[in-house]
Amino acid sequence: MRTKDPRRVVVTGIGLVTPVGTGTEKAWKAILAGESGVSPISRFDVTGLKTTIAAEVKDFNAEDFLDKKSVKRLDLFIKYAVGASKMALEDSGITLTPELSTETACSLGCGLGGLQTMEDNHSLIVQGRPDRISPFFIPMMIGNMSSGIVALELGIRGPNYLCATACAAGAHAIGLGFQLIRDSGYQIVVSGGTESVITDLAIAGFNSLKALSTKNEDPTHASKPFDLRRDGFILGEGAGVLILEERERAIARNAKIYAEVLGFGASCDAFHFTAPPEDGAGAALAMENALKDASSFGLVPEDIRYINAHGTSTGLNDRMESLAIRNVFGEHAAKLAVSSTKSMTGHLLGAAGGVEAAFTVLAIRDGILPPTMNYEVPDPDCNLDYVPNSARKQKLSCAMTNSFGFGGTNGVLIFGAPGAWELKDI
């Protein structure tokens, strides 16, 4: 419930670990240049798999962020979370003193947790060697250890949450962080998403769902959201973390403010365990809820000029999301720019919402829209402006980012340019 004088929330730090680069500016530069992070899988033997390509992180050094002992004891998804969180906190210029640490929370998202750790240890059971199971197996594997280790490494003593809501997890975690500051009185939240499940089991599993692209012969062009020839998503990995901070505190310390969080909306399809309804009703409801949340700033649907889409490059999702956008925005949909950065990063699952929220904030900061790469053959059912194949300069006062996940779970965030919005009477 809103207070009489609701607290406002801004983004003061960003940390990125992505298939197109580690570090915020490196990754953002690659995205604007249309560079792809998709390539042949290098980590394991792909013999027998229908899909042999993925978007691997190639330039991350865990020892830049963790001591050698911790590096050996942690799954990659936790290492990515720590790296992105430490980069984000450094970027914010915040020093977490013992006093401030109790007013700081951690809210991360993750879909599958330590799948590689599970596979490695299960192989010992198959070999009849249960005595060789690592004592760190359980803490390496469970999803909430990403937020737990981040809190430990940074000294965060406020609430510590892990949203395990599949591909909406990162967006939900940021939405929860927004609410922790706005409604519950916390000063700072380290929020975002992390994931690393490029394993043979995950590839085989998604292949069985017929969810992955099999365009192995042309990796960089395999992810083609909204294009008529799309045949599935590309599995990616990484982490995206935002530092959310109470606005007056950020202003008082003369912080660099990237954007303001204006609204968050969530919903459930209540339709199917993997497929969204074709009419996009659940996605539309989440967008409507985010717009309603942001209406306290006087924001109306026509103020949204850019949407960073979920845009997975799967047949049903892209068609559903396009229809949902048209249903929510009506005639204004024709004036909207919509792009999918998954055309370059692949689908980072639980990390997608965090990484794409960062790209949305950076689009507002720089007044430039990231492109949808590999868009060449229009789909009559996807008839929006998808910013095809090259970045576009466009000043933004606000922007939306969508995240939808298995189980019918949806999350939508709206960010605004700093100083562009004032609260109205509520």
Which one from 106, 347, 382, 398 is the annotated catalytic residue? 347
Residues 6+ apart with CB under 8 A from 225: 309, 311, 312, 313, 318, 340, 342, 343, 372, 374, 375, 386
**Alpha carbon distance 108, 8 (integer Å):** 20
**Alpha carbon distance 101, 129 (integer Å):** 43
Instruction: Respond yes or no: is residue 347 known to be catalytic.
Output: yes
| End-to-end CA separation in angstroms for the chain | 12
Quote the tokens at residue 234: 């590309």
Instruction: Respond yes or no: is residue 172 known to be catalytic.
Output: no
Cα 372 to Cα 106, 299, 325, 333, 401, distances in angstroms: 32, 26, 17, 17, 14
Least Cα distance to 243 among 114, 157, 354 occurs for 354
Q: Do 340 and 402 contact (CB within 8 A), yes or no? A: no
Q: Do 349 and 243 contact (CB within 8 A), yes or no? A: no
Which one from 106, 110, 172, 310 is the annotated catalytic residue? 310
Cα 401 to Cα 325, 375, 396, distances in angstroms: 12, 20, 13
**Alpha carbon distance 294, 214 (integer Å):** 40
Instruction: Respond yes or no: is residue 310 known to be catalytic.
Output: yes
Torsion-angle region of 372 (φ positive above 0: left; ψ -120 to 50: alpha; else: beta): beta
What sections of 240-390 are H helices per DSSP? 247-252, 281-294, 315-329, 342-345, 352-366
What is the CB-side half-sphere exposure of residue 166 using CA atoms within 13 A? 14
Cα 223 to Cα 32, 53, 194, 206, distances in angstroms: 16, 11, 21, 15
**Alpha carbon distance 325, 383 (integer Å):** 11
Which one from 167, 172, 382, 398 is the annotated catalytic residue? 167
- Return the active site residues: 167, 310, 347
